Chains A and B, each alone.
Chain A
């Protein structure tokens, strides 16, 4: 007669051994993320979805505002640029005048930014430099900078988002 506690202990240790022998398979997405970059977060920072009603409301507001950074509605439309491009294709520009519609469409085609990095010491000497490099807005980029012979070239990984007519947000 085997005591119940011995049976439970044996069962638990068997399960533990099996888990150690066969760890759970990571999801394909997580696996791909690990291959791309071992150091950066997989969490996105994309803007929240823009509802059609809000898109139409912003178009109306933009129609009465200047074609500049002084237009809160234009800034918001560009913040949601990728979605606004799709909504523009599906629903059109409503009652927006041709000049403003053309300006918005032209700005929405600007889907890239340049990123430059440097590490500079107190004397102003540069130890690491990445020349301006074109990246797609909203897509994670992995950039390798040039460094001197005694420093390993660092990798900068992150994403750039457009947050207005003239402003960019980045996380690296």
Chain B
């Protein structure tokens, strides 16, 4: 496996900050023993400003 790479995407998404997981792709995954369909999911959230992070 060393040196073996693959790429997928690009995946685009527009989300309301803090909303639930959004599926950007349906893929097939395998760990060598079992395989099946899976979802690639992304969540985005706007972070507070540096001066608003006190107490985080």
Contact = CB atoms under 8 A, between A and B. Distances in A.
Interface of A: 38-41, 106, 109-122, 127, 132, 134, 148, 150-152, 158, 160, 162-163, 166-172
B46 A113 contact: yes
B31 A167 contact: no
Contacts of B9: 158, 172
Nearest to A110: B49
A160 B42 CA distance: 12
Size band of the B side of the interface?
35 or more
B41 A114 contact: no
A124 B3 CA distance: 30
Given A168-B15, A170-B13, A172-B11, A114 B42 contact: no
A40 B9 CA distance: 9
Given A110-B49, A150-B32, A170-B44, A121 B17 contact: no
Interface string B1-38: 10001010111111111000100100101011100111
Nearest to A154: B8
Contacts of B51: 109
Contacts of A114: 44-45, 47
The 9 closest A-B pairs by CB, nearest first: A39-B7, A109-B49, A150-B31, A112-B47, A116-B43, A168-B44, A121-B38, A114-B45, A110-B49
Given A110-B46, A171-B12, A152 B1 contact: yes
A166 B50 CA distance: 18
A119 B27 contact: yes
Contacts of A41: 10
Contact of B42 (A109, A122, A150, A170): A170
